[in-house]
Structure 1
Amino acid sequence: MGLPLQKIKVLEIGTLIAAPFATRILAEFGAEVIKIEPIGKGDPLRKWRKLHHGTSLWWYLQSRNKKSLALNLKAPEAIELIKKILTDTDVLIENMRPGALEKLGLDWETLKQINPNLTFVRISGYGQSGPYKDKPGFGAIGEAMGGIRYTTGSPESAPARVGVSLGDSLASLHAVIGALISIINIKTNQGKGQVIDVSLAESVFNIMESIVPEYDLFNFVRERTGGSLPGIAPSNTYRTQDNAFVVIAGNSDPIFKRLMTAIGREDIANNPEFEHNDGRAKQSDYLDKAIESWTRQHTIHHVLQVLEQVDVPSGRIYSVADIVHDPHFIARDMLLDSTLPDGQVVKMPGIVPKLSATPGQVKWNGPDLGAHTQDILHTHGYSDEDITALRDKGVIQS
């Protein structure tokens, strides 16, 4: 059986993280993704973080299964080529600043005349409307405005950021969801193409649980609480005898009783004040102290062994070294061997989600700049002479 998105054609006009991560997911499940890159330098991600022979390892991951089309977007001929490609494209995904594509003549009114069934996914810091739409916005700013940065870290320190580009990645996932919803609407309801407007700030805000009604009804502002989960108890990070940290989530009613019994605190386990979460949440500090007084007496190995025996969710905090050597990640095909252009074999993350009948695939790593330019132009009716002329004029790179 073929891949589920093998008949879907996607054009990406994006750089770095938000749009490229979204198209990577679509490409892993079979979509034909043509990535437009500026001639000469390509996507800046090619030079981000750790480099191998001058190319980012992140690039090889983020752009796997994609085709690279190197264009000079300032050239009218490049815009005409994009319009030709869009005539039979299902999804256009971009993360340029609002108004940038309009300046190139690629506004929505023009695009839907070219292809009425086009799904146009637009990712930006603040969205395509509103008073902030023209402000520059990276993922870090989206995390700050969306509310998650305010709640992250210790109460005694400045708000912390997650160590990855969370705002961009959340926007990517919302972009994929929006694109697939639109495609389904077109395929099943005879709908037409539409604009999917994804804001980094709103993508973060969308995962912030019940902070809005809590504030509106009770004037309650959720603050930073370190490793605990506010209003849900007990769920926290605890230090062990060997100076490690264990995460324990004993916040369901039956699990709580098993946890307290396992650590020798039957008095707490059987106290009716703690029977349900609302009672436990009122005394979460007390419960955390009781749990940590036990974990500090034992090694993390012993703590995990005891809690596993009584079916209490718990785990140590993994570094990447732990992930790479973990038998569960290995068994789930979450660590795939990949061969770089020089023959070097390197581990890359596997594909999520896992589909039983039509799982995703990695066909190739992120390509060289402009590697598919000539083939793409041939597909859209350009002759060898046309391609040579465009190359000589600095419109394309191949």
Structure 2
Amino acid sequence: MQETMNKLPQLQAGALAGVRVVEMGQLIAGPFAGKTLGEFGAEVIKIEAPGAGDPLRNWRMIKEGTSVWWQVQSRNKKSVALDLRQSQGQELARQLLKEADVLIENFRPGTLEGWGMSPEELHALNPGLVILRISGYGQTGPYRDLPGFGVVGEAMGGLRHLTGEPGRVPVRVGVSIGDTLAALHGTIGVLTALYHRKVNGGKGQVIDVALHEAVFNVMESLIPEYSAFGAVREAAGSALPGIAPSNAYPCADGWVLVAGNGDSIFKRLMQTIGRDDLGNAPDLANNAGRVARVQEIDAAVGAWTQPRSINDVLAQLGTARVPAGRVYTAKDICEDPHYRARDMILAQETRDGYSVEVPGIVPKLSATPGTIRSSAPRLGDDTDAVLADMGLSSAQIAQLRTQGVIQ
């Protein structure tokens, strides 16, 4: 096992081999969908504006002039630097889309239409094209034209109201979860539409994903509880409201998460911490009873964990078959043998000449696993090759470069 750690999976044809994706837009939501499709074999051609390209190239921590985030978000992609504000650039994009299977865009609604690339116009050109449109509020409705970022989608989707400690300011999850949820919903839509195209006469369709709706879709029982009981779920810190015990508990050297909310698990947990009086209490034999006494139970678990180290707590709870875990940092993840045994930390060579460790690929397919076939491109790395593949001559490409249409 040690010999295979940190190495890229063996390259092979992916499940989406032969699917051509044109990715427009920038930053997170659209490009994350493109990343996911690319990892499973799709050819992803990313169109970027000449000059600076996708702003993500310069977000957060920079190495050798490029964000290390970019190395993950744009692996398995080709970069074409094309000015879509110019009519010639728009015509080149239309030619590219004529032979594509999927278009991904996350512009404000109406942007494609302004470039003469509305879904109706594109489907007239390529009836089988699957068009994924990700935006703040969707392509319809009274808010469609408002600017929307993932953070706003998280708030409108109901998530921000539940994050943080009761009575305190709502906090970020810590990552751009709204954008990523929208991207994953968009990816599901693309795969569904490709299947529909295959079995229903080759017709493409439009997938309309709103950031706030993607967040809202994972909000569990939020709306049924309000509808049935008038209950407005509130922030609960690290606890899981209505499920007990499930919380973060203090240790001598940090925090540990314990999920003792199964009936038999609860009895084993109480036995481990020396509280058989709680474990054998008739009213605590089911979740409803435990929720009614959750503060007492949490206090008992916390009193047991507090003087102990995280490792000691995890060892004892592991022996008792009680689900528990430490709160991982990036350092913890990189040093964890389980992550490496499952190829979730991979060494990726960049085009700037250095190696960087990056997340592996999820989900894991047995016959056609995802792969990293190429590192993230520099701006315009593939412009000439893609245009030549479209039939343009070297002289035509040089003329377009002189006119500032491409880079």
TM-score by length of 2: 0.96
Q: Give the distance between the partners of 2:258 and 2:16, measured in 1 at CA.
A: 39
Q: Give the distance between the partners of 1:366 and 1:338, measured in 2 at CA.
A: 10
1:283 and 2:293 aligned: yes
Q: Which letter maps to 1:141?
A: V
Q: Which secondary structure state, in structure 2, belongs to the residue aligned with residue 161 of structure 1?
A: coil
1:309 aligns with 2:309: no
Q: State the match for 2:6 in structure 1.
A: none
Q: Counterparts of 2:340 and 2:52 in 1: how far apart (Å)?
A: 36
Aligned equivalent of 2:405: 395
Partner of 1:296: 306
Superposed CA offset, 1:146-197 (max 9, x none): 0111000101420111111010000010010000000011112335211100
Letter in 2 for 1:59: W
SS for the counterpart of 1:396 is coil
Matches within 5 A, 1:302-341: 302-341=312-351
Q: Aligned with 1:36: secondary structure?
A: strand
Provide the C-alpha distance between the structure 1 equivalents of 2:119 and 2:397, rounded to a whole number of angstroms: 28
Asked if 1:89 corresponds to 2:85, the answer is: no
In structure 1, C-alpha distance between the alignment counterparts of 2:352 and 2:85, rounded to whole Å: 34
Code of the aligned partner of 1:186? R
Partner SS, residue 207 of structure 2: strand
Where in structure 2 are the equivalents of 1:81-160 lying within 5 Å? 81-160=92-171
Give the letter aligned to residue 15 of structure 1.
Q
The alignment status of 1:234 with 2:253, answered yes or no, reads: no
* Superposed counterparts of 1:1-398, under 5 Å: 2-190=13-201, 192-240=203-251, 242-397=252-407
Structure 2, unaligned stretches of length 5 or more?
1-11
Distance in 2 separating the partners of 1:107 and 1:303: 58
Q: Counterparts of 2:352 and 2:109 in 1: how far apart (Å)?
A: 39
Separation in 2, partners of 1:37, 1:158: 37
- CA distance, structure 2, for counterparts of residue 186 and residue 233 of structure 1: 46
Aligned residue-pair number: 396
**Alignment partner of 1:93: what SS?**
strand
User: SS of the residue aligned with 2:308?
Assistant: coil
Matched residue of 1:190: which SS? coil
Distance 2:255 2:309 in 1: 10
| Counterpart amino acid of residue 199 in structure 1 | A
Deviations 1:192-229 (A, max 9, x none): 21110001100000000001010111110111111001
Moved over 6 A (4+): none
TM-score normalised per structure 1? 0.98
Distance 1:279 1:128 in 2: 46
Per-residue CA deviation, residues 35-74 of structure 1 (Å, 9 max, x unaligned), is 0000011000111000012111111111001000101111
Would the aligned equivalents of 2:350 and 2:375 in 1 still touch at CA under 8 Å? Answer: yes
- Please list the CA deviations of residues 3-47 of structure 1 after superposition, one character each: whole Å capped at 9, or x if unmatched: 110111100111000000110010011100000000011000111
Q: How many Å separate the matches in 2 of 1:144 and 1:203?
A: 12
Q: CA deviation at 1:130?
A: 0.7
- Identity among equivalent positions (%) equals 53
* Secondary structure class of the residue paired with 2:70: helix
Higher alpha-carbon deviation: 280-289 or 247-256: 280-289
Q: What are the superposed Cα offsets for residues 116-149 of structure 1, whole Å, 9 maximum, x if unpaired?
A: 1111100001111111110101010011110111
Distance 2:51 2:90 in 1: 18
Letter in 1 for 2:312: H
Stretches of structure 1 that go unaligned for 5 or more consecutive residues are none
Query: AA paired with 1:50?
Result: M
2:98 and 2:382 map into 1 onto residues whose CA distance is 19
Q: Aligned partners of 1:214, 1:279: CA distance in 2, in Å?
A: 19
**Quick one: distance in 2 between partners of 1:183 and 1:79?**
25
